[in-house]
Structure 1
């Protein structure tokens, strides 16, 4: 799931990241909160 953070660094919106990795936006948010 390191992919999420790298996508976020590239400036993707959370909603877009969720679509790309096939997760819900809340799951993506949770991953971004965890360091």
Structure 2
């Protein structure tokens, strides 16, 4: 689940697609972005 603040950033700032779906779980994304 995303917080309202995260959703606002994704759609308004990052211009993410409304129809996008996650490929990796949150923990896996955090591990990948830390490297």
Larger relative contact order, structure 1 or 2 (CA cutoff 8 Å, min sep 6)? 1
TM-score (norm 1): 0.33
TM-score (norm 2): 0.33
Q: Which structure has the larger Rg?
A: 2
Q: Which has the larger helix fraction?
A: 1
